[in-house]
Amino acid sequence: METRLRILIVTGIFPPDLGGPATSVSHVARTWSEGGHRVTVVTLADSPEQRGVEWPFRVERVRRSIPKPWRQLKTIVAILRAGRNSDVVFINGLAFEANVANALLRRRQVQKVVGDKAWEMATNTGQTTNTFEDFQRAPQSRAVERLRRLRARWTRRADAVIVPSRYLERIVVGWGVREERVAVVYNAVDDLEAGSPAVIPLETTYKLVSVGRLVPWKGLDRLIGVVARLPDVGLAIVGDGPERRRLETTVRQHDCADRVWFAGQRDRRDALRIVAGADLFVLNSTYEGFPHVVLEAQMVGTPVIATDAGGTSEAVVDGETGRLVPVDDPPRLASGILTLLRDTTLRNRMTDCARSRAGSLTWDRAARETLAVLRGGPA
């Protein structure tokens, strides 16, 4: 009989927060708890309490809005308190706080890496213009170099590192983590029922949709430029972020305000209904670790075209479950969009194949493979 583990999960977001880490943590934690393991979650939250939802494990929330130094101290104390009765610390965020606390606890430490926080922070603050790949090698300012060293140091301290793609496995090994300590566990996706597809308020024959945080590497400015040159094609953009104002300016510059709809931030169900109401899901990123949103689009039956960036080719099999085009190549993207919009048979074949493949990526599988790493074995 397998030994039951006492698992402490540290995460920056947890339901009712939206986002991949919140969804992932809540699913695997519930599966482990129902399997007899004792699970505790320490997370940041807008409120110290969540009414209306009962979790089969303890959730300790630290208020997100308190000043950062005090918040970090409170989080470290919460991790220390919960960690005393844990066998393993599973870090899904708050790496600084978790590393400080576990330096005292000395528990087995497993860290999940879904991207490069140093690159994201430097990009969002204008401290680098490097692509994700170039950033891994190119010299940076003193402040950014410090971020890179910290990110690598915290990751190397882990007894094991979990990544959602082979692509990110290569990146993490480049940070100095030994290859045998890195395990690939692919993201899971629900057997989704989006409900009735939303009506996208655009007076165009064809409607595209893109979902995600409005940040530079999502390539939405270039996607807007492509749509502006395609007659009778509209675009719904679901999400919000620091690029919102610049993207609205881009729409005005291309004189296509009547063909681009900013849907704003939506809850998951609303976002999926909008995806289901579109003819095509488009991901024009220059970087992706593993795009979970692609799996969700596939599961609700919307064909996918995406740039071959990062781990995207591990979510989309070109010509079978969707279409891949080169990064930053607007003519190829436009051609691919038109081909799929005009070929209903091809879209239907890709949709059926994609839904079947995505359906094999279950939460039970993800929880089982992750638990194996927490125990000290391979995924």
What band does 70 get if pLDDT is binned at 50, 70 and 90?
A: very high
Is the pLDDT reported for residue 265 higher than 80? yes
247 and 291 in a single domain? The answer is yes
Q: With contact defined as beta carbons under 8 Å apart, do 160 and 110 qualify?
A: yes
CA distances from 5 to 94, 228, 379 (A): 22, 55, 16
Comparing 38-42, 82-86, 231-235, 356-360, which segment has the lowest mean pLDDT? Answer: 356-360
Is the pLDDT reported for residue 181 higher than 90? yes
Average pLDDT on 303-327 reads 95
Average pLDDT on 335-356 reads 93
175 and 267 in a single domain? The answer is no
| Residue 95: per-residue pLDDT | 92
Strand spans (E) along 171-256: 182-184, 206-211, 233-238
CA distances from 267 to 136, 239, 347 (A): 34, 10, 27
351 and 366 in a single domain? The answer is no
Is the pLDDT reported for residue 307 higher than 90? yes
Question: Is residue 336 included in any domain, yes or no?
Answer: yes
| Residue 358: per-residue pLDDT | 84
What band does 334 get if pLDDT is binned at 50, 70 and 90?
A: very high
289 and 344 in a single domain? The answer is yes
* DSSP class per residue in 86-137: -SEEEESS-HHHHHHHHHHH--EEEEE--S-HHHHHHHHTTS----HHHHTT
| Residue 246 structural domain | 206-358
In this structure, the chain runs to a length of 379
Question: Is residue 320 included in any domain, yes or no?
Answer: yes
Q: With contact defined as beta carbons under 8 Å apart, do 42 and 12 qualify?
A: no
Average pLDDT on 90-107 reads 95
Is the pLDDT reported for residue 93 higher than 70? yes
Task: Give every strand in the sheet of 260-264, ordered side by side.
Answer: 260-264, 233-238, 206-211, 280-283, 304-307, 323-325
Residue with tokens 């104002």: 245
Find, among 296, 333, 290, 295, the residue nearest to 314 by Cα: 290
176 and 274 in a single domain? The answer is no
Question: Is residue 38 included in any domain, yes or no?
Answer: yes
175 and 213 in a single domain? The answer is no
| Residue 29: per-residue pLDDT | 95
279 and 311 in a single domain? The answer is yes
What band does 280 get if pLDDT is binned at 50, 70 and 90?
A: very high
| Residue 23: per-residue pLDDT | 82
Tokens representing residue 265 in the block:
């931030």
Give the 3-state secondary structure of residue 59: strand
Question: Is residue 303 included in any domain, yes or no?
Answer: yes
Task: Assign residue 239 the CATH number of its domain.
Answer: 3.40.50.2000
Question: Is residue 173 included in any domain, yes or no?
Answer: yes
Q: Which helix (H) or strand (E) holds 307?
A: strand 304-307
pLDDT digit string, tens, across residues 205-260: 999 999 988 989 999 999 999 999 999 999 999 999 889 999 999 999 999 999 99
Q: Which residues have CB under 8 Å from 177's CB, separation 6+?
A: 155, 156, 158, 161
Sign of CA pseudo-dihedral 129, 134, 135, 138: negative
Question: Is residue 65 included in any domain, yes or no?
Answer: yes
Is the pLDDT reported for residue 1 higher than 70? no
Question: Is residue 129 included in any domain, yes or no?
Answer: no
178 and 219 in a single domain? The answer is no
| Residue 91: per-residue pLDDT | 97
| Residue 187: per-residue pLDDT | 86
- Looking at every residue in the chain, the average pLDDT score rounds to 92
Question: Is residue 169 included in any domain, yes or no?
Answer: yes
Whole-number Å distance between alpha carbons of 131 and 116: 12
242 and 163 in a single domain? The answer is no
Whole-number Å distance between alpha carbons of 154 and 142: 18
101 and 32 in a single domain? The answer is yes
210 and 245 in a single domain? The answer is yes
> Most confidently modeled of 64-73, 189-198, 267-276?
64-73
Number of domains comprising the chain: 2
Average pLDDT on 160-171 reads 96
Find, among 304, 245, 302, the residue nearest to 278 by Cα: 302
Q: Which residues have CB under 8 Å from 78's CB, separation 6+?
A: 42, 60, 62
Single pTM value for the model:
0.88
101 and 45 in a single domain? The answer is yes
